[in-house]
Amino acid sequence: MRIANNVEMLKVYNIESTVYLVLVWDADHLVLIDAGYPGQRDAIVKAIADAGFSAERLTHIILTHQDYDHIGCVLELLELSPSAQILAHIDEAPYIDGRKTPIKLAEMLDQYDNLSDDQKMWCDNYKEEYATQKIIISQMLSDGDTLPICGGIEVVHTPGHTPGHICILLQECGVMVTGDALNIEDGEMIGPIPQYTHDMELALRSAEKAKSRPFNAIIAYHGGYLKI
């Protein structure tokens, strides 16, 4: 779905849920925001092709946070575009590059004996996926950083869902890519989902911070596009 002259929302299907990645470009750069579930590379590559581009041209992959449904295909995409830079918030990097266990996985491992069989299976799969997903971050991001490409890509630090969660404001078109910090329900913008949020109080403050920025539409990772 074309959102603006240089912004495409990529709808990628999965048996668990549909996710919405974002592709942004200018004459010299092709930027992907978030990278889907593990195993979705072919679907992402096709979605990029349907937008008129080749995944081999990717120059940047920006990760809103550490969860496996957002980082799942980074390494596979790097096989196609090995010079692409990987960007994430400085507080999120240790969970992505393997120095720390991802928060949701660590919490489940601590409670493993009390989990249901389905939860144990999910935890085991997550642990196996994580063991193969050590992603080196090329550039650490901080709140307020603006990448001078694609009309301006501004970093808005929105901790709570995870410590280094970020939203991305596409300045030229006024679209906020919200990751899991803001969501869409029944055609309305809502805040973080409690059951998936590490620190709800902090996440609510971050949601207000994000909403204070100047935007006219959002793209939520699990909800898609909503014009404000």
At residue 26, the pLDDT reads 98
CATH code reported for the domain at 2-227: 3.60.15.10
Closest to 21 (Cα-Cα) out of 46, 5, 29, 127: 46
H helix and E strand count, the chain: 7, 15
Q: Output the six-digit token pair for 10.
A: 């990529």
Residues 6+ positions from 43 with CB-CB distance below 8 Å: 12, 13, 36
Quick one: which H or E segment has residue 190?
strand 188-190
At residue 129, the pLDDT reads 77
∠ at Cα 160 (198, 72), nearest 5°? 70
pTM: 0.94
∠ at Cα 216 (158, 220), nearest 5°? 50
Amino acid, res. 221: Y
Report CA 200 to chain centroid distance, whole Å.
Answer: 19
At residue 106, the pLDDT reads 87
At residue 180, the pLDDT reads 97
At residue 176, the pLDDT reads 98
Could you report how far apart the first and last alpha carbons of the chain are, in Å? 17
Residues of the chain with pLDDT under 70: 16
At residue 133, the pLDDT reads 77
Residues 6+ positions from 49 with CB-CB distance below 8 Å: 55
CA atoms of 87 and 138, how far apart (whole Å): 6
Strands 7-12 and 166-170: unpaired
Helices (H), the chain: 41-50, 68-71, 74-80, 93-96, 103-110, 117-131, 200-211
Q: Tokens 């204070």, residue?
A: 212
